[in-house]
């Protein structure tokens, strides 16, 4: 079982260390049948900070959040939220938390304004004018029926309901999902402003640039385990390097056909703090494209050549100084292949 323990943060703002932990998770395990979604997760989130969790879909980000809020019960381990065991969570604790789920179903003929008023009746009072202020910042029409809102506007409405109480703790599952770039930046500003008011924010994303903009500390989650936890300052300090990746054990017959003259495998991995999802369509051509900042790259290679058979291969440019191996899994293969660093 793989996990990393994190001691109390030394993050200090305005000369004051946040007292205690808003979230304390110890050996959290969640099993769904034969699938272990969380594998002994351990971490703490200091009060008054933004803690980000980044990882690919299926890594366990949403499962952690649901366990924290007692939406699901862990198989073993424990989570303490704002000084209360999550298993003992009741209405009083929930009123201290603003929650944005990853999948929030908002339908009905009622307007967004009426729906938010309903949530306010359940969760407690909202400062006068605050809902309207949030709506204006997000360019959201609160008087339209919810069922007529676009996906992006439904996401904005969900964001307003999470932020409107100025809760002690915000739990945000991929808050920028479905938003255009301008609105994504506005949401990240809301997160930073919440921290500056002394609120604690626990958020997830699969885009590392978002986490870098908003978080104080970051946990990299993969396969239900925390790979590492570091400050954003450490992420930003990592140098851009060149790695040459050499593969072994992948045969062209193991790769799925993508068209005339091409083959494809999907590579998943972590080097330093950059999560990579690389579509390798051949070996030898060396064409590299995609968005490096988001960690999504496309590597074009020559058809019919097995990686690691003498060719030095292309050079990948990435952030991070950690030479952890990149893992590759061809479709239908259970065992991951390893990519190792060589000299540039």
* Residue 115 sits in the same domain as residue 263: no
**Torsion (CA) 94, 97, 103, 105 in degrees, nearest 10:** 60
Report the pLDDT value the prediction gives residue 128, as an integer from 0 to 100: 86
Secondary structure class of 186 (helix, strand, coil): helix
**pLDDT tens, position by position, 268-308:** 444 433 344 444 443 333 333 333 344 443 343 333 333 44
Confidence of residue 42 (pLDDT cuts 50, 70, 90): very high
In a domain? residue 15: no
Final residue of a domain: which of 185, 204, 236? 236
* Residue 156 sits in the same domain as residue 207: yes
Rounded CA-CA distance 324/270 in Å is 7
C-alpha dist (Å) from residue 58 to 38, 62, 63: 10, 8, 9
* Residue 189 sits in the same domain as residue 86: yes
In a domain? residue 316: yes
Q: What domain count does the chain have?
A: 2
* Most confident region among 115-124, 238-247, 280-289 by mean pLDDT: 115-124
In a domain? residue 38: yes
Percent with pLDDT over 70 in the chain: 62
User: Is-contact 246 313, C-beta < 8 A?
Assistant: yes
Q: Is the dihedral of CA 331, 244, 299, 230 positive or negative?
A: positive
* Residue 263 sits in the same domain as residue 157: no
* Residue 201 sits in the same domain as residue 217: yes
Confidence of residue 19 (pLDDT cuts 50, 70, 90): low
* Residue 189 sits in the same domain as residue 306: no
Domain residues for the domain of 291 are 238-342
pLDDT for residue 13 is more than 60: no
Rounded CA-CA distance 279/267 in Å is 6
pLDDT for residue 334 is more than 70: no
**pLDDT tens, position by position, 138-193:** 999 999 999 999 999 999 999 999 999 999 999 999 999 989 989 999 999 999 99
Chain centroid to Cα 112, Å, comes to 27
Rounded CA-CA distance 247/244 in Å is 10
Q: How far apart are the first and last CA of the chain?
A: 34
Between 99 and 298, name the one with better pLDDT. Answer: 99
Question: What's 202's domain CATH number?
Answer: 3.40.50.300
* Residue 198 sits in the same domain as residue 299: no
Rounded CA-CA distance 318/203 in Å is 24
Average the pLDDT over 72-98 and give the result.
90
Report the pLDDT value the prediction gives residue 335, as an integer from 0 to 100: 28
* Residue 129 sits in the same domain as residue 252: no
Residues with Cβ within 8 Å of residue 173, at least 6 apart in sequence? 61, 62, 65, 100, 101, 102, 203, 204
In a domain? residue 13: no
Report the pLDDT value the prediction gives residue 237, as an integer from 0 to 100: 61
Confidence of residue 210 (pLDDT cuts 50, 70, 90): confident
Confidence of residue 57 (pLDDT cuts 50, 70, 90): confident
Q: For the full predicted model, state whether its pTM sits above 0.75.
A: no
Mean pLDDT of the chain: 71
Report the pLDDT value the prediction gives residue 47, as an integer from 0 to 100: 96
Report the pLDDT value the prediction gives residue 65, as an integer from 0 to 100: 95
Rounded CA-CA distance 18/24 in Å is 14
In a domain? residue 6: no
Give strand ranges (E) for the chain: 21-32, 35-46, 50-54, 76-81, 84-85, 97-100, 169-173, 200-205, 217-222, 225-231, 240-246, 256-259, 262-271, 274-280, 287-291, 296-300, 315-319, 326-329, 337-342
């Amino acid at each position: 079982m793989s996990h990393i323990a994190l001691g109390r943060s030394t993050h200090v703002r305005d000369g004051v260390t946040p007292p205690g932990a808003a979230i304390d998770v110890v050996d959290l395990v969640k099993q769904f049948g034969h699938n272990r979604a969380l594998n002994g997760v351990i971490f703490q989130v200091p009060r008054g900070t933004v803690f980000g969790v980044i990882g690919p879909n299926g890594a366990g980000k949403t499962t952690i959040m649901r366990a924290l809020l007692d939406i699901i019960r862990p198989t073993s381990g424990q989570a303490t939220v704002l000084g209360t065991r999550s298993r003992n969570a009741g209405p009083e604790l929930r009123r201290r938390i603003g929650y944005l789920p990853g999948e929030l179903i908002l339908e009905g003929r009622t307007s967004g304004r009426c729906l938010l008023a309903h949530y306010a009746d359940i969760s407690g009072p909202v400062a006068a004018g605050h809902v309207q202020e949030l709506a204006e910042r997000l360019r959201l029409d609160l008087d339209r029926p919810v069922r007529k809102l676009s996906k992006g506007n439904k996401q904005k409405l969900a964001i307003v309901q999470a932020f409107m109480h100025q809760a002690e703790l915000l739990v945000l599952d991929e808050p920028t999902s479905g938003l255009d770039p301008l609105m994504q930046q506005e949401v990240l500003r809301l997160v930073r402003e919440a921290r500056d008011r002394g609120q604690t924010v626990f958020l997830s994303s699969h885009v590392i640039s978002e986490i870098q903009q908003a978080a104080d500390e970051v946990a990299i989650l993969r396969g239900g385990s925390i790979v590492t936890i570091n400050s954003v300052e450490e992420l930003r300090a990592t140098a851009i390097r060149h790695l040459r990746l050499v593969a072994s054990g992948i045969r062209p017959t193991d790769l799925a056909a993508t068209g005339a003259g091409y083959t494809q495998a999907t590579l998943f991995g972590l080097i330093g703090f950059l999560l990579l999802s690389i579509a390798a369509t051949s070996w030898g051509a060396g064409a590299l494209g995609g968005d490096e900042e988001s960690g999504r790259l496309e590597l074009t290679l020559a058809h019919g050549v097995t990686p690691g058979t003498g060719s030095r291969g292309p050079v990948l440019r990435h952030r991070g100084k950690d030479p952890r191996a990149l893992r590759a899994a061809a479709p239908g293969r259970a065992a991951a292949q390893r990519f190792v660093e060589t000299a540039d």
